[in-house]
Amino acid sequence: MKMLNVNIKELINSDTALTPDTGSIVFSLLDKALISKEIIELDFNGIEVITSAFLNAAIGQLYSKFKSDELNEYLKVKNLAVEDRALLRKVISRAKEYFNDQKALNERFDSDFE
């Protein structure tokens, strides 16, 4: 199985990962790789500032399409500062909660119209 190494700084051409727009660039790449069942290593080396808006768009959004088990297996993170790891954990937790509730809501809505 091949591994895709992604340097975030090079991909977004910046040492700050701030906006949902730049997060979407990362999401698009991750989405394609995950569909192909590639292992992806996200390297945050050189990123000085990171926001939850970026992480929500880049990683949180993945939970709308993929299960936690798949993401744990295929998505690896390195060189992320300790405080940014805490932020990433929070983003992941909220994404899981949001997308699980969204699926349940859609199922209830759909069943009301059967």
Does the pTM exceed 0.75? yes
Q: What is the number of other CB atoms lying within 10 angstroms of the CB of residue 4?
A: 16
- In this predicted structure, what is the pLDDT of residue 65? 94
Total structural domains in the chain? Answer: 1
User: Which structural domain, as residue segments, surrounds residue 32?
Assistant: 3-112
How large is the average pLDDT for residues 17-22? 97
pLDDT greater than 80 at residue 2: no
- In this predicted structure, what is the pLDDT of residue 40? 96
